[in-house]
Amino acid sequence: MTASSNNKDLLTIAGKSYQSRLLVGTGKYKDLEETRLAIEASGAEIVTVAVRRTNIGQNPGEPNLLDVITPDKYTILPNTAGCYTAEDAVRTCRLARELLDGHKLVKLEVLGDQKTLYPDMEETLKAMKTLIADGFDVMVYCNDDPIAAKKLEDMGACAIMPLGSLIGSGLGILNPHNIRIIMESANIPVLVDAGVGTASDAAIAMEMGCEAVLMNTAIAAAKDPVLMASAMRKAIEAGREAYLAGRMPRKKYASASSPLEGLID
Amino acid sequence: MQILVNGEPKELSGQATLADLIAEMELTGKRIAVEINAEIVPRSQHGETALNEGDQVEIVHAIGGG
């Protein structure tokens, strides 16, 4: 039996359980059809969306993302991407809740600058406080600082999501040691959010013991996004199973796999 | 009466409710959320919410994002 088909190995976030440990974004795709196909191939059950002004007058009949990625099939995770202050992030979450009929789960990200999209932890903590008081379930994008992560958990985050590397950079997990320290002390799911470039990065995150991985660009910016979505699904499953299986210890010298007895003279 | 919709000036002839504005923009029944002057107006209240001169209306929807 594989871990992925084993119903007992579930990801639980804010009281709801999921089979898939891959969370995907919906940005940067060619069109809604490619979005739909890639997300289907990823097997993801939690899908992030952004909240933006509607077009005025242009393309009134334009299909809506939520007609393709429907809330009855997926857990929609609205993000606060593009917000640089706590105030804007809180406002975006409240709009998302109205948009999704009272939905409480949000992905909080408050960014520091446009060049790095690095989290502004001061503003993130400020937004966190308001959102928790307002009854939101908050999955929070953060830096890989164990102290900040602990503060977010203590404030009531339902998942901590440190970056592997900068959003959209595809550089992989640059500081696995910090992510390990964050996981050691966390009592809520720790997800790597941002930085995954290819399937091995996702597998490494899962082998380290991350509960799940959130990614967007690694799939959407691949030459064949649908195929990459499928690769990511397998990498997440493989990494999870390897984590559960427990890797062999590293050794300095060789250790023969074939028995040494009975060798012909 | 002039209002701002998503930052753009819009001229309305006579009295109008938020539901009228949404209908004119062909957004009725779509998944949107609306703020007037930075306060969310719940969907159930769109029909009874009158627009006033200078109101700043924000209409948002979900789009692709990560």
* Residue A3: per-residue pLDDT: 53
Report CB contact under 8 Å: A76, B62.
yes
- Is the minimum CB–CB distance between B19 and chain A shorter than 8 Å? no
How many other C-beta atoms are found inside a 10 Å radius of the C-beta of residue A42? 24
Cα torsion angle, A38, A42, A47, A49, sign: negative
Q: Which of B6, B30, B43 sits opposite A64 (nearest CB)?
A: B30
Q: What is the dihedral of CA B66, A120, A99, A16, to 10 degrees?
A: 70
- Is the minimum CB–CB distance between A56 and chain B shorter than 8 Å? yes
Nearest-CA distance from B24 to chain A in Å? 9
Q: Give the ipTM of the model, two decimals please.
A: 0.94
Q: Give the start-to-end residue ranges of the domains of chain B.
A: 2-61
Say which of A107, A126, A234, A252 is annotated catalytic. A107
Q: Which helix (H) or strand (E) is A209 found in, with range? A: none
Tens digit of pLDDT at every position of chain A (265 positions): 455 455 589 999 999 999 999 999 999 999 999 999 999 999 999 999 999 998 776 565 667 899 999 999 999 999 999 999 999 999 999 999 999 999 999 999 999 999 999 999 999 999 999 999 999 999 999 999 999 999 999 999 999 999 999 999 999 999 999 999 999 999 999 999 999 999 999 999 999 999 999 999 999 999 999 999 999 999 999 999 999 999 999 999 999 899 889 988 8
| E strand residue ranges, chain A | 11-13, 16-18, 22-24, 46-53, 75-78, 105-108, 137-142, 159-162, 191-193, 212-215
Cα torsion angle, B42, B44, B47, B48, sign: negative
Residue in B closest to A102 by C-alpha = B42
**Chain A positions in Cβ-Cβ contact with residue B33 (cut-off 8 Å):** 51, 95-96, 98-99
What CA–CA distance (Å, rounded) separates A209 from A199?
A: 16
Residue in A closest to B38 by C-alpha = A91
Name residues 174-203 of chain A within 8 A of B (Cβ): none
- Number of inter-chain CB pairs under 8 A, A vs B: 100
**Chain B positions in Cβ-Cβ contact with residue A216 (cut-off 8 Å):** 65-66
Mean pLDDT of B3-12: 93
Residue in A closest to B5 by C-alpha = A56
- Is the minimum CB–CB distance between A216 and chain B shorter than 8 Å? yes
DSSP reduced 3-state for A98 = helix
Residue B53 per-residue DSSP state: T
Residue in A closest to B42 by C-alpha = A98
Q: Which helix (H) or strand (E) is B56 found in, with range? A: strand B56-64
**Chain B interface, best mutation among A22, A35, A46, A98, by max B CB count within 10 A:** A98
Report CB contact under 8 Å: B31, A66.
yes
Report CB contact under 8 Å: B65, A81.
yes
Establish whether A107 is a catalytic residue.
yes
**Chain A positions in Cβ-Cβ contact with residue B43 (cut-off 8 Å):** 98
What CA–CA distance (Å, rounded) separates A93 from A127?
A: 10
Mean pLDDT of B4-12: 93
Residue of A260, A202, A254, A210 whose CA lies nearest to A233: A202
Report CB contact under 8 Å: B33, A52.
no
Mean pLDDT of B29-37: 94
- Is the minimum CB–CB distance between B25 and chain A shorter than 8 Å? yes
Using only C-alpha atoms, chain A has a radius of gyration, in whole angstroms, of 20
pLDDT in tens, A90-117: 999 999 999 999 999 999 999 999 999 9
pTM for the model: 0.92
Residue of A41, A19, A40 whose CA lies nearest to A240: A19
Report CB contact under 8 Å: B60, A54.
yes
Return the CATH fold of B2-61: Ubiquitin-like (UB roll) (3.10.20)
Q: Which residue has the tokens 């406080």?
A: A129
Residue A54 per-residue DSSP state: P
How many other C-beta atoms are found inside a 10 Å radius of the C-beta of residue B39? 8
- Is the minimum CB–CB distance between A77 and chain B shorter than 8 Å? no
pLDDT in tens, A3-39: 545 558 999 999 999 999 999 999 999 999 999 999 9
* Residue A60: per-residue pLDDT: 59
